[in-house]
Amino acid sequence: MGDKLKNQLSKDPALYVVATPIGNMSDITIRSIDILKGVDVVAAEDTRVTRKLLSSLNIRTRLISHRQHNEGASSDGILDLLASGKRVALVSDAGTPGISDPGGVLVSKVRTAGYKVIPVPGVSAVITLLSVGGVSRSDFRFAGFLPSKTKERREVLQKLSHDEVSVCVFESPHRISDAMEDICHVFGPNSMVVFGREMTKLNEEIISLSASKAVEWVRSDAHKSRGEFTVLIIPNLNDSQLGEIIPEHLTLLRELIDCLPLGKAASIVAKHGGYNRKDVYELGIKMKESR
C-alpha cells in the first residue's frame, strides 16, 4: 500500500460513504478507487452490480450485501465489523449512497455508536441534472421517487408546487408517462421540464420542454420511456391551469366560499381536483370581488 493510499484511510475503524458512477465508468474518482482498494469490506446495495465495477478496476475487496430490505440487520453486522477494527466502504448501485438508496439507517447507527463517517464525494444524478438544467435560482427541492399511484402522486406534487421552487425527482421507465401527465396537471402546461435519461451513458439524453410538450415527447416513441429518469420541474410562476378547471369544481368553490374561510375552501377544491392551492385561492378572491 503506497503512502498516498495510507493518507486516504483512517487508522481507526470508519465507514466511508463512497459515490460511484451513474453510467460512465470514467467518472469514478481516484480517491474512490483508493478507498475501495484499501478498506477491509465493501457494503453494496447489489453485490452483482458492484462486483462488475470492482472487477473493472482490478479490486478484490470483500463484498457484503447492504440492501433496503435488510438494512436494519445489515447495519448491525457492519457495526460488528467496525467494533472488530475493520474499515468499511458503503456504495449504492450508482451515484451517492443515502440519496434515494440505502444508507441513512446505517450512517445514523454508525455515528451514534461513535465511529467516524467519512464522505467520499463524486457523482450524484441530482447535481448532474441541475448543472445543465438552466435554473437561475439556487434553491430547489429534491423529492426522490414519486409515489406509484396517481392519487398519492398528485398529492405529493401538489405539496411540492406550493414552494414555487424547482423540484427534482427520480422516476422509473414504466411510470414516466403517467408521472409526466400528473406533473403537467399540477404545475401547469407551461412549466418547464428537463429530462435526464440514461445520464452519462451511451444513449444519454438531456431534453428541456414545456410540461405539455414533455407529455407528448414521452408518449411519441416507446424508446423514449426506456432507462432511468431524473426529472427537473421548473415552475412557471405566472402560469395558472385554472382556465381548465372543470365546471363542477368551480361550482364547488362558489358554494364553499359562502360557508367556509377562503383558505379552507381553496384547500378542499385544490385537493379534490389536483390543482395548485395558491391558484384556487386567487380564483376564490376574484369570485368574492365580483359579487
pLDDT, one tens digit per residue, over 23-71 is 999 999 999 999 999 999 999 999 999 999 999 999 999 999 998 888 8
Is residue 271's pLDDT more than 50?
A: yes
Closest alpha carbon to 291 in 242, 247, 254: 254
**pLDDT of 7:** 60
Backbone region of residue 274 per phi and psi (left: phi > 0; alpha: psi in -120 to 50; beta: other values): left
Tell me the C-alpha distance between 23 and 93, whole Å: 10
Q: Are residues 102 and 16 in the same domain?
A: yes
Return the C-alpha cell found at 216: 407528448
Last residue of a domain, one of 234, 262, 280: 234
Last residue of a domain, one of 104, 123, 142: 123
**Contact status, residue 4 vs residue 34, Cβ threshold 8 Å:** yes
Partners of residue 195 on adjacent β-strands: 207, 231
Q: What is the pTM of this model?
A: 0.76
Ordered strands of the 140-145 beta sheet: 140-145, 166-171, 229-234, 192-197, 205-210
Torsion sign (Cα): 117, 118, 122, 127: positive
Q: Are residues 180 and 98 in the same domain?
A: no
**pLDDT of 290:** 57
Q: Are residues 23 and 92 in the same domain?
A: yes
Q: Are residues 96 and 145 in the same domain?
A: no
Last residue of a domain, one of 65, 92, 123: 123
Number of domains in the chain: 3
Q: Are residues 161 and 95 in the same domain?
A: no
Q: Are residues 202 and 137 in the same domain?
A: yes
Q: Mean pLDDT check: name the lowest of 76-90, 121-135, 168-182, 227-241.
A: 227-241
Q: Are residues 59 and 95 in the same domain?
A: yes
**pLDDT of 5:** 54
Name the residue type at position 225: S
CATH number, residue 133? 3.30.950.10
Q: Are residues 131 and 212 in the same domain?
A: yes
Q: Are residues 173 and 265 in the same domain?
A: no
Q: Are residues 130 and 118 in the same domain?
A: no
**Contact status, residue 214 vs residue 186, Cβ threshold 8 Å:** no
Tell me the C-alpha distance between 233 and 204, whole Å: 19
Q: List pLDDT tens digits, range 95-124.
A: 999 988 889 999 999 999 999 999 999 999
Domain with 19 in it: 3-123
Q: Are residues 185 and 222 in the same domain?
A: yes
Q: Are residues 162 and 252 in the same domain?
A: no
